[in-house]
Amino acid sequence: MVGCFTKLLFNFTKNVHKHQIHRSMVLSSQKYGKSLVYKSYGEPSEVLNIVEAQNEKPKTDEIAVRWLLAPVNPADINTIQGKYPSRPSLPAIPGNEGVGEVIEIGANIKEFAVGDRVIPNDNNMGTWRTNALYKANDLLKIPKSFGDVEASMLNVNPCTAYRMLKDYVSLKPGDTVIQNGGNSAVGQFVIQLCKAWKLNSVNIVRDRTDIMNLKEHLTMLGANEVLTENELRTTDLFKSKKCPSPKLALNCVSGQSGVEILRHVGINGTMVTYGGMSREPVIVPVSALIFKNIMIKGFWMTAWTKENSKSKIRTEMFNDLADLFASKKLKAPPYKLIPFLNYQEAVSNALKIDGKTGVKYILDMSV
């Protein structure tokens, strides 16, 4: 799998992302590493602490990795709060995504070399730290020419958008997808994939003072329509036939927002829920089930990855995403690099979906 994935990603891009960070190998020889650790579940700003420990030498079958960048996802925050189905043993180090650099290998390691760039090949690997030891199967190798930012968030957001658009409804060019949380990281990848695949995307966002700037940003990504939650309640977009009724709805907010997008799904359509940012339940009107025969589904990227970690379908997905990034039909959402020692800013803001344009917070281990 490692070799195959490496070949795919060597075609991922020939141009280094302008935000790729060039780090000196001198830092690789640091004697002590730092980790964010929580010993009890709770609010991240209260339970996370930086712990320093001496870096260990890898055993014969181990690889020493220095993490470079690690995104802060809502699922990471929910896990620390103890509200996520995946509850690691405590004390624990958070982080499911990241990009790192191999700084030392054991004598029996043949698939990796010092200087290789790697990403996690499993969940709950604890990427919110500067250094760690792993087995070869825990990592996937990527080319050095691949941008650090895009590589750091490859496993979750673009894959989540890709799978939800592929796995639930047989969509054809001209079909419509409606989603809330349109300015989220996943939402922005949904917009770009819809454009690449010639699908209509109707994207719902919360109102804000700079709403026109947000609408312009999402439209430039390829959104066909961007509506606030209030505008959605009164729109005649679908009744007027200006846009076909959605065959697929993607719900990351739930609560009333989920109900509102469900109202517009066409007969025999499907709504997929993959988040509950409002912390409110999904309420399904009886009419949606009886008179419109709408299917209600759920999606969890963690479970999908576990079931398909070595499957051909996962390889095909990475291949497709590689081509889309290489052709610039996909690009990373707006992000902000946060120095590792300033982690409080990232964990305090990661769940705020009413920010300016859905900024992605990424921990930068080198600062």
Residue 88 counted as domain residue: yes
Cis, bond preceding 334 (omega within 30 deg of 0): no
Do 271 and 343 lie in one domain? The reply is no
**Mean pLDDT computed over 262-289:** 94
User: Does the pLDDT of residue 354 top 70, yes or no?
Assistant: no
- What integer best gives the mean pLDDT of the chain? 88
Comparing 128-132, 143-147, 274-278, the range with the smallest average pLDDT is 143-147
**Catalytic member of 32, 38, 41, 84:** 84
Are both 164 and 298 inside the same structural domain? yes
- Range list of H helices, 235-311: 255-263, 286-290, 301-308
Would residue 84 show up in a list of annotated catalytic residues for this protein?
Answer: yes
Distance CA(83)–CA(193), nearest Å, equals 30
In this structure, are 29 and 110 located in the same domain? yes
The rounded distance, in Å, linking the Cα atoms of 87 and 95 is 12
Checking if the pLDDT of 47 tops 80, the result is: yes
Q: How confident is the model at residue 287 (pLDDT cuts 50, 70, 90)?
A: very high
User: 30 pLDDT band (50/70/90 cuts)?
Assistant: low
Per the structure, the complete domain to which residue 340 belongs is given by 2-153+332-364
Query: What is the pLDDT averaged over residues 308-313?
Result: 85
Over 60: is that where the pLDDT of 14 sits?
no
> Is residue 180 domain-shared with residue 161, that is, in the same domain?
yes
Give 3's pLDDT tier (boundaries 50, 70, 90): very low
Q: Which residues pair with 302 in a beta bridge?
A: none
Nearest to 362 by CA among 67, 88, 80, 16: 67
The CATH code of the domain that includes 356 is 3.90.180.10
Q: How far apart are CA 93 and CA 109, in angstroms?
A: 25
Residues 351 and 293 in one domain: no
- Tokens standing for residue 301: 């990227």
Nearest to 214 by CA among 250, 184, 251: 184
The pLDDT, as a whole number, for residue 345 is: 94
**118 with 24, same domain?**
yes
Per the domain annotation, does 200 fall within a domain? yes
Residue 16 has pLDDT above 70, yes or no: no
Dihedral, CA of residue 225, residue 230, residue 235 and residue 237, to nearest 10: 20
In the predicted structure, residue 162 carries a pLDDT above the cut 80: yes
Cα distance between residue 293 and residue 163, in whole Å: 22
Give the pLDDT score at 310. Answer: 77
Beta carbons of 162 and 190 less than 8 angstroms apart: no
User: Percent of the chain, pLDDT > 70?
Assistant: 89
In this prediction, residue 298 carries a pLDDT of 97
User: Is the confidence at residue 141, as pLDDT, over 80?
Assistant: yes
Of 75 and 229, the structure prediction assigns the larger pLDDT to 229
pLDDT at residue 9 in the model: 41
pLDDT score recorded for residue 154 = 85
| Residues 112, 205 within the same domain | no
Q: pLDDT at position 197, please? A: 98
Looking at the structure, tell me whether residues 30 and 143 fall in a common domain: yes
Helix (H, G, I), strand (E, B) or coil at 350: coil
Q: Is this model's pTM higher than 0.85 or not?
A: no
In a domain? residue 166? yes
Residues 271 and 139 in one domain: no
Helix (H, G, I), strand (E, B) or coil at 360: strand
pLDDT tens string 79-121: 999 988 878 899 999 999 999 999 999 999 999 999 999 999 8
| Residue 176 pLDDT | 98
Query: Do 164 and 266 belong together in one domain?
Result: yes
Q: What is the DSSP string of 107-168?
A: TT--S--TT-EEEESSSS---SBSEEEE-GGGEEEE-TTS-HHHHHTTTTHHHHHHHHHHHS
pLDDT at position 31: 79
Task: Please name the residue that has the structure tokens 């995307």.
Answer: 201
pLDDT bucket at 7, cuts 50 / 70 / 90 = very low
6 and 128 assigned to the same domain: yes
Confidence category of residue 320, pLDDT binned at 50, 70, 90: confident
Token digits for 37?
A: 């650790």
pLDDT score of 318:
82
Q: And the tokens for 197? A: 């695949």
Residue 137 in domain: yes
Q: How many domains does the chain have?
A: 2
Nearby residues of 282 by Cβ (< 8 Å), 6 or more positions away: 251, 254, 255, 258, 259, 273, 276, 296
Among 89, 118, 108, 116, residue whose Cα is nearest residue 25: 116
- Look at 28-32, 66-70, 112-116, 304-308 and tell me which has the smallest mean pLDDT: 28-32
Looking at the structure, tell me whether residues 146 and 166 fall in a common domain.
Answer: no
Whether residue 230 lies inside any domain: the answer is yes
Amino acid residing at 227: L
| 185-189, 195-199, 267-271, 307-311: least confidently modelled range | 307-311
Which pLDDT tens digit goes with each residue over 217-252? 999 999 999 999 999 999 999 999 999 999 999 999
Range scoring the smallest mean pLDDT among 106-115, 145-154, 323-332? 145-154
Q: Do the domain assignments include residue 318?
A: no
Q: Looking at the domain assignment, is residue 317 inside a domain?
A: no
CATH number at residue 179: 3.40.50.720
When pLDDT is averaged across residues 37-66 and rounded to a whole number, the result is 95
Q: How confident is the model at residue 295 (pLDDT cuts 50, 70, 90)?
A: very high
Report the distance separating Cα 253 and Cα 251, nearest Å.
Answer: 6
Identify whether 213 is part of a domain: yes
